[in-house]
Amino acid sequence: MIAVASWVGGAVSLLTLYFLKKGITDGGVLYGINQSLHHVDMMVVVIPGAFGCLITGLIYSIFSNWGFFKHNWMIFKWIVTITAILFGTFYLGPWETRMMEISGSLGISAFTDPEYRYNEKMNLVFGALQCLLLIVTIFISIFKPWKSKCRPRRSGSFVKGLE
Protein backbone atom coordinates (compact mmCIF):
# COMPACT_ATOMS: atom_id res chain seq x y z
CA MET A 1 0.00 0.00 0.00
CA ILE A 2 2.87 2.36 0.77
CA ALA A 3 4.48 1.70 -2.60
CA VAL A 4 1.32 2.29 -4.62
CA ALA A 5 0.48 5.38 -2.56
CA SER A 6 3.95 6.73 -3.31
CA TRP A 7 3.73 5.96 -7.02
CA VAL A 8 0.23 7.32 -7.60
CA GLY A 9 0.55 10.13 -5.06
CA GLY A 10 3.81 11.20 -6.67
CA ALA A 11 2.22 11.11 -10.12
CA VAL A 12 -0.66 13.29 -8.92
CA SER A 13 1.86 15.65 -7.30
CA LEU A 14 3.78 15.94 -10.57
CA LEU A 15 0.61 16.83 -12.44
CA THR A 16 -0.28 19.41 -9.78
CA LEU A 17 3.18 20.99 -9.95
CA TYR A 18 2.75 21.50 -13.71
CA PHE A 19 -0.11 23.87 -13.07
CA LEU A 20 2.08 26.07 -10.85
CA LYS A 21 3.91 27.21 -13.97
CA LYS A 22 0.97 29.27 -15.20
CA GLY A 23 1.70 32.97 -14.90
CA ILE A 24 5.35 32.60 -13.90
CA THR A 25 7.54 35.54 -14.93
CA ASP A 26 10.81 34.57 -13.22
CA GLY A 27 13.16 32.05 -14.83
CA GLY A 28 14.51 31.00 -11.43
CA VAL A 29 11.02 30.04 -10.28
CA LEU A 30 10.45 28.04 -13.47
CA TYR A 31 13.73 26.22 -12.96
CA GLY A 32 12.83 25.60 -9.31
CA ILE A 33 9.51 24.02 -10.27
CA ASN A 34 11.24 21.83 -12.86
CA GLN A 35 13.83 20.83 -10.25
CA SER A 36 10.99 19.96 -7.86
CA LEU A 37 9.35 17.82 -10.54
CA HIS A 38 12.64 16.04 -11.12
CA HIS A 39 13.26 15.52 -7.41
CA VAL A 40 9.76 14.13 -6.69
CA ASP A 41 9.94 11.86 -9.73
CA MET A 42 13.48 10.56 -9.79
CA MET A 43 14.68 10.55 -6.23
CA VAL A 44 12.07 10.62 -3.54
CA VAL A 45 8.60 9.42 -4.43
CA VAL A 46 7.67 8.10 -7.89
CA ILE A 47 10.56 5.80 -8.81
CA PRO A 48 10.85 4.25 -5.33
CA GLY A 49 7.07 3.70 -5.33
CA ALA A 50 7.11 2.13 -8.80
CA PHE A 51 9.92 -0.25 -7.90
CA GLY A 52 8.27 -0.97 -4.57
CA CYS A 53 5.15 -2.05 -6.50
CA LEU A 54 7.25 -4.21 -8.81
CA ILE A 55 9.08 -5.89 -5.93
CA THR A 56 5.97 -6.50 -3.82
CA GLY A 57 4.22 -7.86 -6.92
CA LEU A 58 7.08 -10.27 -7.47
CA ILE A 59 7.00 -11.36 -3.83
CA TYR A 60 3.23 -11.92 -3.88
CA SER A 61 3.39 -13.76 -7.19
CA ILE A 62 6.19 -16.06 -6.11
CA PHE A 63 5.21 -16.75 -2.50
CA SER A 64 1.41 -16.76 -2.60
CA ASN A 65 -1.36 -18.56 -4.45
CA TRP A 66 -1.97 -15.52 -6.69
CA GLY A 67 0.79 -16.54 -9.11
CA PHE A 68 1.90 -14.56 -12.15
CA PHE A 69 -0.64 -15.62 -14.78
CA LYS A 70 -3.31 -17.46 -12.83
CA HIS A 71 -5.79 -14.57 -12.92
CA ASN A 72 -6.57 -12.17 -15.75
CA TRP A 73 -6.55 -9.18 -13.40
CA MET A 74 -2.99 -10.12 -12.33
CA ILE A 75 -1.89 -10.30 -15.95
CA PHE A 76 -3.36 -6.82 -16.48
CA LYS A 77 -1.49 -5.51 -13.42
CA TRP A 78 1.80 -6.98 -14.63
CA ILE A 79 1.36 -5.44 -18.07
CA VAL A 80 0.50 -2.03 -16.64
CA THR A 81 3.30 -2.08 -14.06
CA ILE A 82 6.05 -3.10 -16.45
CA THR A 83 4.80 -0.85 -19.26
CA ALA A 84 4.48 2.15 -16.93
CA ILE A 85 7.98 1.64 -15.52
CA LEU A 86 9.49 1.27 -19.00
CA PHE A 87 7.55 4.24 -20.43
CA GLY A 88 8.56 6.38 -17.47
CA THR A 89 12.18 5.33 -17.82
CA PHE A 90 12.52 5.91 -21.55
CA TYR A 91 10.09 8.78 -22.16
CA LEU A 92 8.60 10.60 -19.17
CA GLY A 93 11.86 10.81 -17.21
CA PRO A 94 14.01 12.07 -20.11
CA TRP A 95 11.35 14.63 -21.12
CA GLU A 96 11.22 15.90 -17.58
CA THR A 97 15.01 15.99 -17.19
CA ARG A 98 15.37 17.89 -20.46
CA MET A 99 12.77 20.45 -19.31
CA MET A 100 14.82 21.04 -16.17
CA GLU A 101 18.02 21.45 -18.19
CA ILE A 102 16.44 23.86 -20.69
CA SER A 103 14.83 26.01 -18.01
CA GLY A 104 18.13 26.06 -16.14
CA SER A 105 19.97 27.45 -19.14
CA LEU A 106 17.28 29.63 -20.76
CA GLY A 107 15.32 30.76 -17.72
CA ILE A 108 11.90 32.17 -18.53
CA SER A 109 12.75 32.01 -22.26
CA ALA A 110 12.25 28.25 -21.96
CA PHE A 111 8.53 28.91 -22.44
CA THR A 112 9.27 29.96 -26.02
CA ASP A 113 11.72 27.13 -26.74
CA PRO A 114 10.11 24.51 -29.05
CA GLU A 115 11.92 21.60 -27.39
CA TYR A 116 10.82 22.71 -23.92
CA ARG A 117 7.20 23.16 -25.06
CA TYR A 118 7.21 19.72 -26.72
CA ASN A 119 8.67 17.99 -23.66
CA GLU A 120 6.24 19.79 -21.39
CA LYS A 121 3.23 18.83 -23.52
CA MET A 122 4.29 15.18 -23.89
CA ASN A 123 5.04 14.86 -20.20
CA LEU A 124 1.74 16.41 -19.19
CA VAL A 125 -0.42 14.39 -21.60
CA PHE A 126 1.26 11.02 -21.17
CA GLY A 127 1.90 11.58 -17.46
CA ALA A 128 -1.81 12.23 -16.95
CA LEU A 129 -2.72 9.13 -18.97
CA GLN A 130 -0.30 7.00 -17.00
CA CYS A 131 -1.63 8.38 -13.71
CA LEU A 132 -5.19 7.57 -14.78
CA LEU A 133 -4.17 4.06 -15.80
CA LEU A 134 -2.49 3.51 -12.43
CA ILE A 135 -5.68 4.62 -10.65
CA VAL A 136 -7.72 2.20 -12.79
CA THR A 137 -5.22 -0.53 -11.86
CA ILE A 138 -5.81 0.18 -8.16
CA PHE A 139 -9.54 -0.39 -8.65
CA ILE A 140 -8.85 -3.57 -10.59
CA SER A 141 -6.65 -4.74 -7.71
CA ILE A 142 -9.42 -4.09 -5.23
CA PHE A 143 -12.38 -5.51 -7.15
CA LYS A 144 -10.61 -8.21 -9.21
CA PRO A 145 -13.23 -7.99 -11.96
CA TRP A 146 -12.11 -10.77 -14.28
CA LYS A 147 -12.51 -14.41 -13.49
CA SER A 148 -9.59 -16.74 -13.03
CA LYS A 149 -8.10 -18.25 -16.16
CA CYS A 150 -8.08 -21.62 -14.38
CA ARG A 151 -11.26 -23.41 -13.47
CA PRO A 152 -11.66 -23.94 -9.74
CA ARG A 153 -11.30 -27.54 -8.61
CA ARG A 154 -14.41 -29.26 -7.37
CA SER A 155 -14.16 -30.70 -3.93
CA GLY A 156 -16.40 -32.42 -1.47
CA SER A 157 -15.26 -30.05 1.27
CA PHE A 158 -17.85 -27.66 2.65
CA VAL A 159 -15.26 -25.48 4.32
CA LYS A 160 -13.76 -22.85 2.05
CA GLY A 161 -10.00 -23.08 1.87
CA LEU A 162 -9.77 -26.82 2.56
CA GLU A 163 -10.05 -27.68 -1.09
Domain range for 53: 2-143
Does 137 map to a domain? yes
Q: Give burial (CB, 10 Å; 0-12/13-18/19+) of 161.
A: exposed
Instruction: Please enumerate in sequence order all residues whose Cβ is within 8 A of that of 38, keeping only pairs 6 or more positions apart, or say none.
Output: 96, 97, 100
Prediction pTM value: 0.84
Query: Do the Cβ atoms of 130 and 92 come closer than 8 Å?
Result: yes
Does 157 map to a domain? no
Does 163 map to a domain? no
Does 114 map to a domain? yes
Cα 89 from Cα 72, distance rounded (Å) = 26
The answer on pLDDT for 40 being more than 60 is yes
Mean per-residue pLDDT over the chain, rounded? 90
Assign 163 a pLDDT band (cuts: 50, 70, 90): very low
The tens digit of pLDDT for each residue in 51-80 reads: 999 999 999 889 988 888 888 888 999 999
Does 80 map to a domain? yes
Assign 90 a pLDDT band (cuts: 50, 70, 90): very high
Residue in 1, 33, 35 with CA at minimum distance from that of residue 17: 33
Cα 56 from Cα 141, distance rounded (Å) = 13
Does 36 map to a domain? yes
As for how many domains the chain has, the answer is 1
